[in-house]
Amino acid sequence: MTTLTVTRTTLLKDLRMEWRSKDAINSMLFFALLVVVIFSFAFNPTAEESRMIAGGLIWVAFLFAAVVALNQTWARELRNQVLDAYRVSPAPPNALFLAKAIGNFLFVVVLECLMTPLFVIFYELRSIGPVWQLIVVALLGTWALVVNGTFFAALSIRTRSREIMLPLILFPISIPALLGMVDATTSILTGEATPDFWIKLLAVYDIVFTAICLMLFETVLNAE
């Protein structure tokens, strides 16, 4: 009954439920495709301009897709108030948080893996900088979004009009991370600057916010 065991069981349970319905996964994929298409419609990408804003476009698209996913995080736990069952049990609260955050992380990463090729095709992107740097940026950036998102989704489940609350608190807090992701991506794509500073920023951001989330989650979960 250590944190790790419970994290694992909870994660497996979530994955099983996800896998069983497959709804969420499938529909998210289609949603991601639509976001890419809508963006390309709206911005009518031509070779030169698009390279300049592609970093921003990609991350904004990921952000919207992720928010939709994050909003569903706790929905399942709230449906029959199953969260209460977790809360009365002796299982450590942080295990629940970690399981949810990791689940969301996997989910959003899958999403990104499928959206990126589409962006590449539609915007005819080619990276001038090294691709592995892009991957590092993507992983760090995704964790930044997801860890805060999971936490704030937990905060916002106690509020009325839940869906809307999440972006409201998530977006402002995430702005530094978003800035880091966008600028790092653009630097790598255009090869004009090194993304080192931004990568460091993202790493620090991840560490700080993961720590804060783990410290505060118990309080948030048990507030009633």
Please choose which of a copy of itself, other proteins, none residue 93 contacts, taking the beta carbon within 5 to 8 angstroms, the exact cut-off set by kind. none
Interface with other proteins, residue 127, by CB under 8 A? no
Interface with other proteins, residue 48, by CB under 8 A? no
Give the residue, chosen from 48, 81, 126, 132, that forms a contact with other proteins under the rule CB under 8 A.
81
Lookup result for tokens 């991370």? 177
Interface with other proteins, residue 194, by CB under 8 A? no
What gap in Å lies between CA 51 and CA 57, rounded to an integer?
10
Helices (H), the chain: 3-21, 23-43, 47-72, 75-79, 82-88, 93-123, 131-156, 162-190, 196-222
For residue 180, what are the contacts with CB-CB under 8 A and spacing of at least 6? 141, 144, 198, 199, 201, 202, 205
Residue 189 is encoded by which pair of tokens? 């794509």
By beta-carbon proximity to a copy of itself, the closer residue of 28 and 98 is 28
Give the residue, chosen from 4, 135, 175, 191, that forms a contact with other proteins under the rule CB under 8 A.
175
- CB 118, CB 33: distance < 8 Å: yes
Give me the torsion for CA of 66, 104, 147, 54, rounded to 10°: -30
Interface with other proteins, residue 135, by CB under 8 A? no
By beta-carbon proximity to a copy of itself, the closer residue of 34 and 121 is 34
State the residues that interact with a copy of itself by CB under 8 A.
21, 23-24, 27-28, 30-31, 34, 37-39, 41-44, 49, 52-53, 55-57, 59-60, 63-64, 68, 71-72, 160-161, 163-165, 167-168, 171-172, 175, 178-179, 182
Pick the closest to residue 189 from 134, 132, 117, 127 (CA basis): 127
Residue 24 is encoded by which pair of tokens? 């969420």
- Element at 193 (helix H, strand E): none
Q: Which residues bind other proteins (CB under 8 A)?
A: 1, 5-6, 9-10, 13, 16-17, 20-21, 23, 26-27, 30, 33-34, 37, 40-41, 44-45, 76, 79-82, 84-91, 121-122, 124, 148, 151-152, 155-156, 158-161, 165, 168-169, 171-173, 175-176, 179-180, 197, 201, 204-205, 208-209, 212, 216, 219-220, 223-224
